[in-house]
Structure formats: structure tokens, C-alpha cells
């Protein structure tokens, strides 16, 4: 078996969930000693990542992507315009399977060998539903890509149900959960960050977009602010949604001195410390395919509250504290108060962390993918 693993969309610096997913899967493949059966597909722009930690243990090939000026303006043409180049490369090296860690509309594709990949969720379809032109282009490109592959993998049963309801793809869909890799030991971090975290705080780490439901968390926090000394720390890259919606709401509620946005990039040690020192982690999201951050927080033995949406309840194994409905800030405020007033014991939090670590270890999830790759009747 010789799997061509598409990494042309990845960079070492990005913290996007779909890129973290690809890195963790490759780390797991390395840990189970199957790296000789997986070859990385890199572009000329990101070939430098081949020297990144465990990626050095993999062979790689480079595809010179063409028509960059065109595909920068019209991304959905990237796969079509580079299909012949990819097919040539596949024939040259004799690959038996093409794997896409993420299906997106400017992804590469081939019909030369079996093509399988991961559709993490249906959020693109849902969010673009109200966009007449962009929505149509997106659905046309994604549908043609998804219906041309051999098999689709998704990351939770909840995500599978929504994909089937919203997209109705032709290929069969299987579920393989994401892996999660946390730092067991943390090195010394920057003193300014250490000082920032040297106060009691509630934490939320998520993308600053509307469906992550920060408004409900901010309103819940405002209700409690007078009776507790905690700060609310939000970790995410600043967006127009933060500037035009969330920041004005924080000012309106009079809690600007108690809400801290961290939009700078943290390394793994700094993220570990951010999770560990939190009194409570809250994820009020309205829509998830999996939900990395509440699981990461629980693995660091921090108390966690999430909305009760199916994906989060499923992937957190029903082990955390949940509130419903997701947009009710009064219910969330009560849940926060209850957890802070009556926290779980360290023994209970350690037990939750152990169960999640076992379920989502990078080695275990890599084994699941490897067995899936092997299940195909691939000609050698």
C-alpha cells in the first residue's frame, strides 16, 4: 500500500482545526510505525514543512501547482486546473490511494486511483445557504468533488447525520473520530503571559464567528460579574464579528474591564498553561462537527461546560456539564455559578481526562485510519 497524503493546503504556523487534524493524524501514523506506507504531497510553497518534527520521517513529493494567479481569484478551479499534474505524479510514483485530510472546494482531486477523504462537517453548506451566487458555486463545486470520490469519512455520528440531511452525498460515509494531542509536561512560558494568567478566569477558545455563540457567554458572564471576581478570557483571532458585534456588546454591558481577548498566537506550552490555569472552560457553540477545545480543556483537568448540541455531547462522551437551550444566557449563567460554587474533585476530573485521552489518542485514531486504508482492495 502506498498512500499519497495531500498536505498542499497546510502550513506549520496555522492553528486552523483542519490543519491541526492533519498534523495529528500524521503524528499518529508515525507513532504506529506506518510512515513508510504514507507519502506526503507538498506544494512548492510549503515544502519547508517536510523538515517539521516527525514529518521528517515521511517521504514526500512536490507538485508544482499551476495557474496560481487564476486560482487565487477563482479557488474552485484549483483542482481542475491541476488535475493532469496530479495524475501524472500518481502514475510516475505508482501510488495506490489518494487521501484528502479535508474536502474543500479548492482541494485537489483525481480519478486515476481511489480517492477518499474527510468531510469534517456540513457548515459550509449551512452558512452559505443565504448567499445566492457564492452559495450555488460552493454547492456545485463541493457536490461534484464529493460525488466523485470513493468514500467519505467524517468525525462524529452527529456530523454524519447532518451531512446526510443537508448534502445527500452519493458515496458511503464512515465515522472516525479526531485525535487530540496535549502537552503532558509544559516548559517555562513568557513572563508576560504568566502574569496575565495569574488571576481567576473563565476561558473560551474558539473562532470568533457568530455560530460559536459568544454573545450568550458574554451575557451570562455579565449577569454574574458583580458576584464573582473572575475574568473572562477569550482566545481567538480577532475578526470583524468581534469588532462590530462582540466588542460593542461588551461595552454596552459594562464589562470591558473584565473581558480579555487574546488574539496572539500561543505555542503548545502556552496553550497548555492557558487551559490548566482556567477555573472553568465554557463552549457555548451552536454548531460543531467535533469540538476540539472543550475536550482539550477536560484533558488538562479543567472543569468544562458546553452547550448540549449533539456533536459536543457525543464527542465529550457525556462526561462534562451541559446546558440547554444553547442561546439561553440565564441558564448558562446558572450552570457557571453551580460549577464554580461546587467544583468537581480532582479525582473526578482526572478520571474524565483519562477516559478522553484513551478515546482520542493519536496512535489509536491513526490505527483506525490505517485499517480503513487497508480495507480497500488496492492494486499494488
146 shares a domain with 34: yes
CA distance to 98, 129, 225, 274, 323, per residue, from 336 (Å):
46, 34, 11, 19, 10
CA 192 to chain centre: 28
Instruction: Determine contact, residues 75/69, Cβ cutoff 8 Å.
Output: no
The pLDDT score that the predictor gives to residue 377 is: 57
Give SS3 for 193.
helix
Give SS3 for 270.
helix
Give SS3 for 160.
helix
58 shares a domain with 207: no
- Cβ neighbors of 105 (< 8 A, separation 6 or more) are 75, 76, 124, 137, 138, 141, 142, 145
Grid coordinates belonging to 238: 480577532
242 shares a domain with 95: no
- Residue 172: what are its φ and ψ, rounded to 5°? -70, 150
300 shares a domain with 270: yes
293 shares a domain with 197: yes
CA angle 221, 222, 224 (to 5 degrees): 65
CA 43 to chain centre: 22
CA distance to 158, 260, 285, per residue, from 279 (Å):
29, 15, 19
pTM of the model: 0.91
92 shares a domain with 201: no
196 shares a domain with 61: no
Q: How many angstroms separate the CA atoms of 155 and 135, rounded?
A: 24
Grid coordinates belonging to 190: 513568557
The pLDDT score that the predictor gives to residue 34 is: 96
50 assigned to some structural domain? yes
256 shares a domain with 155: no
186 assigned to some structural domain? no
Residues of the domain holding 39: 3-179+361-374
Specify the number of domains making up the chain: 2
CA distance to 3, 93, 302, per residue, from 82 (Å):
19, 17, 46
The pLDDT score that the predictor gives to residue 379 is: 43
310 assigned to some structural domain? yes
List the chain residues with pLDDT less than 50.
379-380
pLDDT (tens digit per residue) in 60-107: 999 999 887 888 888 888 889 999 999 999 999 999 999 999 998 889
Q: Characterise 53 by phi-psi region: left (phi > 0), alpha (psi -120 to 50), beta (else).
A: left
- Residue 303: what are its φ and ψ, rounded to 5°? -65, 140
- Identify the residue whose cell numbers are 459550509: 124
DSSP H stretches of helix in 48-175: 68-73, 78-81, 83-93, 123-127, 132-146, 157-166
CA distance to 25, 156, 205, per residue, from 288 (Å):
20, 10, 14
Beta bridge partners of residue 235, listed in sequence order: 205, 262
- Residue 216: what are its φ and ψ, rounded to 5°? -65, -40
Instruction: Determine contact, residues 214/57, Cβ cutoff 8 Å.
Output: no
300 assigned to some structural domain? yes
CA distance to 20, 146, 187, per residue, from 57 (Å):
18, 31, 25
CATH of the domain at 251: 3.40.50.2000
185 assigned to some structural domain? no
How many Cβ atoms are within 10 Å of 230's Cβ, its own excluded?
A: 18
254 shares a domain with 132: no
Instruction: Determine contact, residues 191/267, Cβ cutoff 8 Å.
Output: no
78 assigned to some structural domain? yes
Amino acid at each position: 500500500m502506498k498512500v499519497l497524503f495531500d498536505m498542499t493546503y497546510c502550513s506549520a504556523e496555522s492553528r486552523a482545526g483542519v490543519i491541526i487534524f492533519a498534523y495529528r493524524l500524521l503524528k499518529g501514523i508515525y507513532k504506529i510505525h506506518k510512515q513508510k506506507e504514507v507519502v506526503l504531497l507538498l506544494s512548492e510553497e510549503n515544502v519547508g514543512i517536510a523538515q517539521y518534527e516527525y514529518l521528517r520521517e515521511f517521504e514526500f513529493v512536490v507538485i508544482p501547482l499551476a495557474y496560481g494567479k487564476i486560482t487565487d481569484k477563482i479557488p474552485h478551479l484549483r483542482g481542475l486546473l491541476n488535475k493532469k499534474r496530479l495524475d501524472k505524479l500518481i502514475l510516475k510514483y505508482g501510488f495506490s490511494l489518494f487521501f484528502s485530510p479535508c474536502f474543500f472546494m479548492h482541494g485537489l482531486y483525481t480519478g486515476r486511483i481511489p480517492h477518499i477523504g474527510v468531510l469534517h462537517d456540513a457548515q459550509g453548506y449551512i452558512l452559505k445557504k443565504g448567499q445566492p451566487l457564492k452559495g450555488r458555486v460552493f454547492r456545485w463545486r463541493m457536490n461534484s468533488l464529493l460525488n466523485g470520490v470513493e468514500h467519505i469519512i467524517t468525525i462524529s455520528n452527529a456530523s454524519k447525520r447532518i451531512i446526510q440531511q443537508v448534502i445527500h452525498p452519493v458515496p458511503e460515509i464512515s465515522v472516525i473520530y479526531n485525535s487530540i494531542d496535549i502537552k503532558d509536561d509544559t516548559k517555562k512560558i513568557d513572563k508576560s503571559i504568566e502574569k496575565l494568567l495569574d488571576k481567576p478566569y473563565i476561558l473560551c477558545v474558539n473562532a470568533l464567528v457568530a455560530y460559536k455563540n459568544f454573545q450568550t457567554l458574554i451575557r451570562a458572564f455579565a449577569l454574574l460579574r458583580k458576584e464573582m471576581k473572575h475574568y473572562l478570557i477569550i482566545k481567538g483571532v480577532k475578526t470583524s464579528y468581534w469588532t462590530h458585534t462582540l466588542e460593542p456588546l461588551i461595552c454596552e454591558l459594562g464589562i470591558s474591564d473584565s473581558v480579555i481577548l487574546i488574539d496572539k498566537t500561543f505555542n503548545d506550552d502556552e496553550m497548555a498553561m492557558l487551559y490548566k490555569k482556567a477555573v472553568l472552560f465554557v463552549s457555548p457553540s451552536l454548531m460543531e462537527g467535533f469540538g476540539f477545545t472543550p475536550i482539550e480543556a477536560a484533558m488538562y483537568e479543567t472543569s468544562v461546560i458546553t452547550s448540549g448540541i449533539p456533536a459536543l455531547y457525543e464527542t465529550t462522551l457525556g462526561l462534562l456539564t451541559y446546558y440547554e437551550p444553547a442561546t439561553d444566557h440565564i441558564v448558562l449563567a446558572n450552570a457557571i455559578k453551580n460549577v464554580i460554587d461546587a467544583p468537581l474533585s480532582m479525582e473526578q476530573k482526572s478520571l474524565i481526562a483519562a477516559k478522553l485521552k484513551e478515546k482520542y489518542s493519536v496512535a489509536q485514531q491513526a490505527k483506525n485510519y490505517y485499517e480503513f486504508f487497508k480495507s480497500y482492495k488496492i492494486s499494488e
